[in-house]
Chain A
Amino acid sequence: DVHLVQSGAELKKPGESLKISCKVSGDSFSNHYIGWVRQKPGNGLEWLAVIYPGDSETAYSPSVQGRVTISFDRSVTSVFLHWESLATSDSATYYCARWDYLGPGTQRYFNYWGQGTLVTVSS
């Protein structure tokens, strides 16, 4: 079974740094893309970034490019999302999800999801 387990809720002040994690188990870590999706309170879903541990390929949404960094550590089969300097607008629930091909001729889709990490940024 594939499981994605995320780190716990965070309460931070504006300007602080933060790194949240997503531990992936149950399948070959390096062979699957992992992405992050944000959901601000009362709002819809927003894709932020993806990474492929096999070759370190990354892609970012223009809305967060330069503000967040996606990374991984193969030794602990985990993917991370890092902010150098948080803003109140970063308050949201963050989900990691595995981005998989689900059949021949298809594109990738977010098939397995973590439970979400609530990040609150407030002075």
Chain B
Amino acid sequence: IQLTQSPSSLSASVGDRVTITCRASQGISTFLAWYQQKPGRAPKLLIYAASTLQSGVPSRFSGSGSGTDFTLTISSLQPEDFATYYCQQVDNYPLTFGGGTKVEIK
């Protein structure tokens, strides 16, 4: 199953609303996660089951979608949110990640 993320990068300002999309090559129900990765650090799970916020993750992050089309939204971008975001499907093997979206400071 291939996951296509868009955009591959974006520039935004603190306080902006940011939306990242992830499209699966076939239906995966809601078996999708979103991770945040900062340079030199391991990925961090933000959202699982497409829309469930992992414990400790700020509520400005939200996820939606099912089947083939998914969205990660950051409602009001904060300085610590500048990072790369990846979607991942866990519907079946091989587990796959999207290509990533780098969120940069405008």
Contacts and interface: CB of A to CB of B under 8 A. Distances in A.
Interface residues of A, number: 26
A110 interface: yes
Interface of A: 35, 37, 44-47, 50, 59-63, 95, 97, 102-103, 106-111, 113-116
B90 A102 contact: no
B99 interface: yes
Contacts of B94: 47, 59-63
Contacts, number: 65
Question: Which secondary structure characterizes the binding site on chain B?
Answer: loop
Contacts of A95: 42-43
Nearest to A101: B48
Contacts of B91: 107
Contact of A111 (B37, B45, B100): B45
A106 B49 contact: yes
19 contacts: A35-B95, A44-B99, A45-B35, A45-B37, A45-B86, A59-B93, A60-B94, A61-B93, A95-B42, A102-B49, A102-B54, A106-B49, A106-B52, A107-B49, A109-B33, A109-B48, A109-B90, A113-B42, A113-B43
